[in-house]
Structure 1
């Protein structure tokens, strides 16, 4: 092992083993060293650090406060190194795939699940990491290779097009939902019944919100925004409690009604939520990314049936 400044990684490893074993004798047996050699290596390490790592109590070694701090870092390092060794010892075709997905916060969480879940059912193990946030920030992280793919409800701006490739995944009309009492009230004489009724709006710059507001205007509906929320799941919770009505893709009609105990008011076919997957322009050899980009007739069938 090499040195990092004054930190000798071999000495750090010896210390880690001693701390785990609880004694120099047991650690020496594990490392196939003599206790005298190991004790000397520990003394050298403590001298370099300028602090004691252990104190002796009742013929046993106990970590000092400083020693516990060093052990915490060492434990993270060597546990990670062991995990990496285990992965590298597997045949390449058996190694888990790593998939880092950026999900625009304006995408409804149930839709995000339907778009992401297929990667988890590959024959090969996939270690999935999901990050939510603003599309612009997610695309920046995609360009820096911190993410493998971004799921969003808008295509990259023209200035970003040369760096990324956009893939249209699905498009669904939008529907309105509300708690049962409010839903019955709104279903009567729709859409005039929406006038001045409490509406739960997303505070995010989601394209479907602009389209929905234009539709309200075309129907001479005066929108009473009772709350602006930047989390699609929280909006549904507010809706479930009867605070107001909200919009969600028709494609997840059944899940929304079942999970949040709300009722469907109406579908608005003129307003659509279109979803895209964005990858780097040079593409990816990641099989999990390819799975997310694969055309899904079953999803399109579900959307078509929900809109009939």
Structure 2
């Protein structure tokens, strides 16, 4: 940073974009001599040539191309920021960067974020999936505005974050029509040793579901472990096995993946939370995402 003069870097960036010192000088409202001197000073500070002359034009050296890539990112971002700041505050887009735990069903993740996109102001949404612990770390580093997860933050995060319960649903079982017909009769004993599609992610409802199978004396025949909730449903649609999904998205699962609802298991629950930083506040897009969603919550108690 001692050698990086941002004004000189900007001059270099304009010269590279314009292709000549004369055109860049006109754009910057400087004399060519002044701009040429500023470029020479910058190259001297960096200790490397940024341009070479070829057929009366300037071409970037390999070093110059590297510097230009970084400068282009910087000044394009700065220009975008300037465009936003020129707008009245009430018209500026709201940023919403959401971390989504990989174990959350994608249909529910969409329904949780959908209200924020319906705000009168433009919302620029970015979604990032991953492990909850990694996402919470990124939240603390202010890379994310909110994290959607299926587990409460650990004790080490107390005081750093605040959690809100957004959804609470029983789990249901689904399968392709032919398999569902077989499994619906004499349920739940019909599940014994039948092909089951399990999530390989550490979803809290998974252990509860396995305990429920054991309580019903059902031998679970796991034919595939998949770490993507959408891919599990595709396997289910093709008749590979039956799978579990939250009851609150039953109709969407059946319609989108052409499967049949087998049964609802009230003893197995899937609870989802939104986690924000404890301090620093949040914008209207995050506030809308935190709003209670009764259509996704089968319970009334929201004391957590």
* TM-score normalized by the length of structure 2: 0.91
2:176 is matched with 179
What's the secondary structure of 1:5's corresponding residue? coil
SS at match of 1:205: coil
1:281 equivalent in alignment to 2:281:
no
Shifted more, 121-130 versus 105-114: the winner is 121-130
2:151 is the counterpart of 1:150: no
- C-alpha contact 2:199 2:229 (8 A) present in aligned 1: yes
For residue 144 of structure 2, give the secondary structure of its aligned residue in structure 1. coil
User: What count of residue pairs does the alignment treat as equivalent?
Assistant: 300
Deviation at 1:159, TM superposition (A): 4.6
**1:157 CA displacement:** 3.2
Aligned to 2:22: 25
Q: Residue deviations 1:176-229, cap 9 Å, x none?
A: 111222222212222111100111111222121111111111211111111222
Partner of 2:291: 294
Separation in structure 1 between the aligned mates of residue 293 and residue 186 of structure 2, nearest angstrom: 37
Q: Take 1:8 and 1:279, find their aligned partners in 2: how far apart are those partners?
A: 37
Structure 2 equivalent of residue 37 of structure 1 = 34
Aligned residue in 2 for 1:226: 223
**Alignment map for 1:243-258 (pairs within 5 Å):** 243-258=240-255
Q: Which among 187, 208, 222 is matched to residue 211 of structure 1?
A: 208
* 1:15 and 2:12 matched: yes
TM-score by length of 1: 0.90
Deviation at 1:283, TM superposition (A): 6.6
| Structure 1 residues 202 and 65: CA distance shift in structure 2, 3 A | same
Residue 190 of structure 1 aligns with which residue? 187
Q: Structure 1 residues 166 and 8 mapped into 2: Cα distance closer, same or farther (>3 Å)?
A: closer
Question: How well do the aligned residues superpose, as a CA RMSD in angstroms?
Answer: 2.1
The CA distance in 2 between the partners of 1:219 and 1:53, in whole Å, is: 73
